Amino acid sequence: MAFVLSGSAPTQPDADTCDTGMRHVELPAVPQGETPTVCISPGRATLFNFDTDLIPGSVTVEGSDRFTKVEPGPSTLKLIPSVKVAAGERLRLTVTFQDNAAPTSAAITLVVQAAQAAPLVNVYRQARSAESYEQELAETKAKVRQLTEENTRLRVERDGPGGLTELLASGVMDRKGVPSHDITKSITETATNAFPVSRVTAYRSAARVVVEVFLKVPEGTPPWKPENATLTLQGRKGAELKVVTRWSPEPIAPLVFGGGVSVEAEATPDVTAGTFTLRLWDTSGARTVTINGIRFP
């Protein structure tokens, strides 16, 4: 009989709630609640670290033939999904432990997301150590600090003079203004994109960049509103700009001209000298758009 992993994290994460930091999961002797979920993403590694050795050959991953890597160790498991897994798909992972302590085995649901994945999942069958709590506390403080800084920035922008004067006063724009460039002909689209791209324009100021994307939603398709975005430097794994605004005035409807989305990120000219990839996805994670070859003026 297989026992299931049980933790305090939400059991049904979507693209908004997916935990992309270090994850801690505790195993009670008696299973409780639903099988928890861990987010995985094509091309991104997720490492499971168990505090007890596993029985060799006991690890099973549903759809393992669609993973680039399924690499079990004595007490670890490294997973890298390939592009063959689809966003929104749910796959089952099971493991069996070597000793006779309860639980003897465990299961977890892997939820495929377009661009988010938990890089490290620590699985415990006993009370957590003080070090693990300190690590989680440090991560929580970092998140609170980030939110505090963002709130401070938003208050400054709200109380500022507005318009171009505020852009100059905040340092976002200098006397060179905001150069723009139509890069539609130079970008490449991923074959798995939910919608074709009609136009892409790149903008750059002293401290920000913006990618404006217009999409063609086919007739008979439900309107689509991208809720999340990443802007990643190609060729440098993990080099990702901090997205500060993702704005779409309304869901992009079929056959409506002008339906688009703007993604703004913090960046200085020296950082934006390379080529970037933009990923857009909705709350379900099932309909995604990936655009490669983005260069800023």
Compute φ and ψ for 290, nearest 5 degrees. Answer: -125, 130
Whether 132 contacts 121, CB under 8 Å? no
Confidence at residue 130, expressed as pLDDT on a 0 to 100 scale: 63
> Within 10 Å of residue 132's Cβ, how many Cβ atoms?
16
Indicate whether 278 belongs to any domain: yes
Closest CA to 196 of 162, 161, 233, 221: 221
Q: In terms of domains, do 31 and 116 share one?
A: yes
Indicate whether 203 belongs to any domain: yes
Q: In terms of domains, do 184 and 288 share one?
A: yes
Query: Residue 199 belongs to a domain with what CATH number?
Result: 2.60.40.3260
Last residue within a domain, chosen from 63, 94, 128: 128
Whether 119 contacts 293, CB under 8 Å? no
Q: In terms of domains, do 118 and 205 share one?
A: no
- The residue range of the domain holding 224 is 176-294
> Within 10 Å of residue 268's Cβ, how many Cβ atoms?
12
Confidence at residue 157, expressed as pLDDT on a 0 to 100 scale: 61
Indicate whether 12 belongs to any domain: no
Q: What is the SS3 assignment for 148?
A: helix
Q: Can you spell out the DSSP letters for 61-107?
A: ETTGGGEEEEEE-SSEEEEEE-TTS-TT-EEEEEEEBSSSPSPSEEE
Indicate whether 11 belongs to any domain: no
Q: In terms of domains, do 182 and 250 share one?
A: yes
Whether 92 contacts 111, CB under 8 Å? no
Rounded Cα gap, residues 228 and 220, in angstroms: 24
| CA distances to 143, 151, 184, 188, 214 from 148, in Å | 9, 5, 37, 37, 33
Confidence at residue 10, expressed as pLDDT on a 0 to 100 scale: 38
Indicate whether 144 belongs to any domain: no
Indicate whether 186 belongs to any domain: yes
Q: In terms of domains, do 194 and 92 share one?
A: no
Q: In terms of domains, do 95 and 28 share one?
A: yes
Q: In terms of domains, do 60 and 117 share one?
A: yes
| CA distances to 104, 196, 251, 286, 290 from 215, in Å | 50, 6, 11, 17, 12
Indicate whether 198 belongs to any domain: yes
Interior angle at CA 241, CA 197 and CA 208, nearest 5: 85
Q: In terms of domains, do 118 and 226 share one?
A: no
Chain centroid to Cα 130, Å, comes to: 29
- Residue 247 bridge partners (DSSP): 262
Confidence at residue 171, expressed as pLDDT on a 0 to 100 scale: 66
Confidence at residue 12, expressed as pLDDT on a 0 to 100 scale: 44
Supply the DSSP symbol for 223.
P
Q: In terms of domains, do 190 and 287 share one?
A: yes
Indicate whether 153 belongs to any domain: no
Whether 35 contacts 76, CB under 8 Å? no
Last residue within a domain, chosen from 71, 104, 128: 128
Q: In terms of domains, do 111 and 190 share one?
A: no
Mean pLDDT by 10 residues, the chain (297 residues): 38 51 78 82 92 93 95 94 92 91 86 89 74 77 79 64 60 76 92 89 88 86 87 78 84 73 83 86 86 91
Tokens 């401290």 — which residue?
A: 207
Rounded Cα gap, residues 95 and 206, in angstroms: 51
Query: Residue 33 belongs to a domain with what CATH number?
Result: 2.60.40
Asked whether the whole model's pTM tops 0.75, one would answer: no
Total structural domains in the chain?
Answer: 2
Last residue within a domain, chosen from 93, 128, 163: 128
Q: In terms of domains, do 37 and 100 share one?
A: yes
Q: In terms of domains, do 191 and 279 share one?
A: yes
